[in-house]
Structure 1
Amino acid sequence: MHIIHDKVLFVISDHKTDYLILEGNDSLGFFGELITVGSHQAIKIPLTHHNANILRSHFPFTNPIPVLRKKRSFGLGDRLGIAGEGHLRVFKACDAYPVLAQQSMRELTLTKRSYEDVLDAASFAVFKFGYHDGFGADGDHLKKMDDIENVLKLGYTMITLDCSDYIKNDVLTLSDEEIKNRITLPEVMKKIYLDREINVEGHLIHFNEMDLMRAYYVYQDAIEYTTKVYQKFFKNQAYAANLELSIDETMTPTKPVEHFFVANELKNQGVVLDTLAPRFCGEFQKGVDYIGDLNQFERELGVHAAIARHFDYKLSIHSGSDKFSIFSIIGNHTKGIFHIKTAGTNWLEAMRLVAIKDPNLYREIHAFALDAFDEARKLYHVTTDLTKIPSLKTLSDDELPALFQLNDARQLIHITYGAILTAENNQQDRFRTKLYRLWSSYHQEYARMLESHIGEHIRKLYDGFIS
């Protein structure tokens, strides 16, 4: 409950959707319906984009803020627009800043939502639950100038620049001689990097000629594009927003020398990054724990974290959902200064709730997901083996929730979210209405599940730097 111009404004629910209720008959710019309750008049206000804008104009705490320069930040990709309460329960109890509004163009296309929808859901959530500590809004994995400009004008306070279109992955097929024939290293670059050792917190960064040529070949176009984006949108604080650079969408892990090269070249161009996301060794697949050599990951993470500190930005870890085996390592080597991105794990918890509360609906969706999997797999890198998922015919209803403890079953449901949410039957949505009705009926259970699950992410991260 909040006061605006001496009038009470609060949120109610009719078990189907939420509304704002404003005391009196003065709309204060909101669009709504005048209602009478006993002898009192009030305005019933639907949660539309217009009304979200009015809410943000009256209550500054419902606007996102730049958070990447805070010590700890945590991205929460709420694909459904209903995870706010569970997320805010977690972040009311810790000092990390949540990025409540975080979606990519791919996610919006697959869920048929918009950047307005995502930001509005976050603003209404912080108003409803009285969260005043600040939250971020991330235009995630954006590639095009027009898309970047659009989300910044909407008020997003962070852009994750995806440079994968400018990174040359064909380097994997090229010999040293072929690379030498394709590029000519600028002499000034040779003077900067060759025949010297660079000490970064005790880690020695050394470039041989082929290291430098490969880094230049793979990343130079991405560096030039990042510079253009920075100069247009971020130089001289054109927008009150942070810039994260994503170079994790590559075919090979980012070597420390390559990380240093990218960061140093951007610094030389006057680009100020707030976070950078390398591609780490091992596998960061969707919705499951880290796959790879933990010792190698820890060794290389230590160097990457030192490079990030050297250039005064935070290290960002993408596809951070459910990476429980490495969270304490991340917390330790980043010294508690990090940005973590999660997304699909919130969707998985929502679907686990379906398996608990409506087994028949879950069985129907699971069968649909098996049919949709091959098409969905084209958009995601996963190593799912469908033969390892038990046939649902062999499982009782009480056993269905345990499927979400199996990596292959988790990834089946994880990557088919778009197909599930947009499926139609006789020109009517097949699952979406049923799902949202269930989630609305059990919203408190969903909030508790998220509080526990996302809370476990935070606890393990903090274990790494709080003794």
Structure 2
Amino acid sequence: MAIKRDIAEKLMSGKGNLIGSSFSVIPDGYLGLVENNSGRHLAVVCGEKSEWNKAWKGAEFETADEHKKIKIGIFPLNPNNAALVRRLIGWAAPSSCGVNGISVAFSDWLGVVNSQQPNLFVHKQIKPVLVDYTPEYSNLLQRNFLEAMDTATWSVLSSGYKGGWAANAAGLKTEEEIVKALLYGYSGIGVDCSDKIDCAVEELSVEESEKRFGELDKDFKEAIDKSYLDAEFQVGDVKIKFEEKALHRMVLEFGQAIMFLQNMYKDYLDDTPWDLDFEVDLSRCDKALTPQEHYFLANELKRAAVKFDTLCVNANTFKKEMEENLAYHAGIAKAFDYRMSFADTALAFDDLAAVAKSFHQRVNFKLTHVLWLAALQTIAKTDGTLLKQIAEKAGLQVPEAGELTFEKEAGRAFAAAYDKMLGCEEGKEKLPVREAVEKEIGLYEANLEALVNGFIRRL
């Protein structure tokens, strides 16, 4: 039996204030979010014989008074129901970004559901990565990867945004972390190989590095020299050449990282049943890649049949190298068909449009601290006592609300000190930051809109 839309809307509205933008068609019925005195809930209306009736968890269906063959259920926003929403509503699930276009990524540390953020990208040629979450955040904040995904799911559903969004599990170092992210349905997997790069090689003398290189397999050494020496590599409008001793250092320095990435890709990411972005994450590496190192890494991964979509570096670390050798790095990324991704974008770049243009409009900007700064602005305007406690915990002076921007020193300091402010110290109660922000959700969304639009306008 087909259920009429107006009947479903009426039944949901009888349970609370129906958020119209969330109202969606599902097999054998409809769902939507409703708000009442006990908070926000998921309302599901379906036929009595729907195959999905037993899938929703946390409450029971009841028969509609005037429609005996129609059932309505009011369910909590729990992980099971979020997973079902992603399964039944295509636009409520994350999707890959691929290697073209511009995207911006957000790290949500509070888990505040809001309907404003997704809609900031309506009619924009920019894809939002609403989840960019790392094991570091998970351990510090006591929030797992599934919670981050669910927060984004409820935000997208409440907004009604149908333009597509992504979710990236970043900074993964172990097989267990990769498997969990895949099971949770993340559309992007970022493998952190920073600690696999042997930066100590740079401290070796020429004699010491040549001795170590000489201990490698003879055929391998000959193949490396034959591949890179006495040749020029065209990337865009520039050419790259390799020097023998520097090349040998690269082999020693990056060899373990390349093998690690190859193994992770072949074992877990090469043949997934859905489109997936693979990010090579170097954002925690203290050094910036030279053009030769960048080319060597990309080329060796290609030779190993590793297909990656983004190469992530720290914007602050990479900024000077980019300014000096931008044409080389942009040319390499284009030649090997991947996008550059910049962590801590807001703390490093002023002219995002220029960066995007340099990389042929194929770039991902990680706006790591934006949601956190919007939350701090909200607290600064509404709860001076809590702001003082936050500042004391971080060892910083209490700021004025107007100072909490990326352009101000205080704003940058508060953004960078999130770990001290949000961390769970043993024997101490966690500050009620999330509760304070949820209490002022309208103001938080306004602050967030202003911050995000500030970056979007630059693009």
TM-score after normalising by structure 1: 0.83
State the 1:408 CA deviation.
Answer: 4.5
Deviation string 1:116-156 (CA, Å, 9 cap, x unpaired) is 11111111111111112221111111011121111112211
Structure 1 residues 360 and 36: alpha-carbon distance in aligned structure 2, compared to 1, 3 A threshold: farther
- CA RMSD across the alignment: 2.7
CA contact (8 A) 1:274 1:314 kept: yes
Rg comparison, structure with higher value: 2
Question: 2:253 maps to what in 1?
Answer: 218
How many corresponding residue pairs?
424
Residue 329 of structure 1: CA displacement? 2.2
**1:354 paired residue among 379, 386, 390:** 379
Distance 1:336 1:175, change over 3 A: same
Verify the 8 A CA contact 2:113 2:154 in the aligned structure 1: no
Say if 2:355 is the partner of 1:330.
Answer: yes
**What is the CA distance between 1:36 and its match in structure 2?**
8.6
**How does 1:440-451 map onto structure 2 within 5 Å?**
440-451=438-449
- Which amino acid is 2:167 matched to? A
CA distance in structure 1 between the partners assigned to 2:278 and 2:331 by the alignment:
19
- Tell me the alpha carbon deviations over residues 395-438 of structure 1, each in whole angstroms, 9 at most, x when there is no partner: 7xxx34425467543344334434433447976x3412xx2232
1:70-149 equivalences in 2 (<5 Å): 70-82=100-112, 84-149=114-179
Question: Tell me, what secondary structure is at the counterpart of 2:264?
Answer: helix
What is the aligned partner in structure 1 of residue 392 from structure 2? 367
Change (3 A) 1:180 1:442: same
State the alpha-carbon separation in 1 of the partners of residues 330 and 114 from structure 2.
30
Where structure 1 has 5 or more consecutive residues not aligned to the other structure, the ranges are: 285-291, 371-385, 463-467
Query: Which secondary structure does the structure 1 equivalent of 2:251 belong to?
Result: helix
Contact 2:209 2:249 in 1 (8 A): yes
- Specify every segment of 5 or more residues in structure 2 that has no aligned partner in the other structure, as ranges: 1-22
In structure 2, the partner of 1:256 is 291
Contact 1:243 1:275 in 2 (8 A): yes
Measured after TM superposition, the shift of residue 234 of structure 1 is 2.3
Cα separation, partners in 2 of 1:441 and 1:218, compared to 1, 3 Å: same
1:3 paired with 2:17, answer no
73-82 vs 104-113, greater mean Cα deviation: 73-82
Partner residue in 1 for 2:263 = 228
Cross-structure match for 2:431:
431
1:307 aligns with 2:308: no
Q: Is the alpha carbon distance of 1:38 and 1:30 closer, same or farther for their aligned partners in structure 2, counting shifts above 3 Å?
A: closer
Give 1:269 deviation, angstroms: 1.0
Assess, with a 3 A threshold, how the Cα gap between structure 1 residues 91 and 359 changes in structure 2: closer, same or farther.
same
| In structure 2, C-alpha distance between the alignment counterparts of 1:48 and 1:404, rounded to whole Å | 34
Code of the residue aligned with 1:21 in structure 2: it is A
Checking the alignment, whether the CA contact within 8 Å between 1:83 and 1:450 is kept in structure 2 is no
Letter in structure 1 aligned against 2:277: N
Q: 1:191 offset after TM fit, Å?
A: 0.9
1:12 aligns to 2:34 (yes or no): yes
Q: Deviation per CA, 1:200-249, whole angstroms, max 9, x where unpaired?
A: 11211010112211211211111111111111122244553121112232
The amino acid that maps onto 2:454 is E
Q: Give the direction of change, closer, same or farther, for the CA distance of 1:438–1:14 in structure 2 (3 Å limit).
A: farther
TM-score by length of 2: 0.84
Q: 1:44 to 1:418 in 2, by over 3 A?
A: farther
Aligned amino acid, residue 448 of structure 1: A
Question: Relative CO higher for 1 or 2, CA cutoff 8 Å, sep ≥ 6?
Answer: 1
Letter aligned with residue 330 of structure 2: A
Q: Is the 8 A contact 1:245 1:277 kept in 2?
A: yes
Determine the C-alpha separation between the residues in 2 that align with 1:423 and 1:152: 27
Q: State the distance in 1 between where 2:228 and 2:427 align.
A: 63
> The residue matched to 1:91 in structure 2 has which SS?
coil
Shift of 1:5: 4.8
Question: Which residue of 2 is the match for residue 456 of structure 1?
Answer: 454
Q: Label 1:262 to 1:326 Cα distance change in 2 as closer, same or farther (>3 A).
A: same
Rate the CA distance shift 1:454–1:350 in 2: closer, same or farther, 3 A: same
Aligned twin of 1:382: none
Q: Does 1:21 align with 2:43?
A: yes
Q: Tell me whether 349-358 or 3-12 shows the greater mean CA deviation.
A: 3-12
**Structure 1 pair 69–197 and aligned structure 2 pair: CA distance change class (3 A):** closer
Q: Which moved more, 1:303-312 or 1:340-349?
A: 340-349
Contact 1:66 1:240 in 2 (8 A): yes
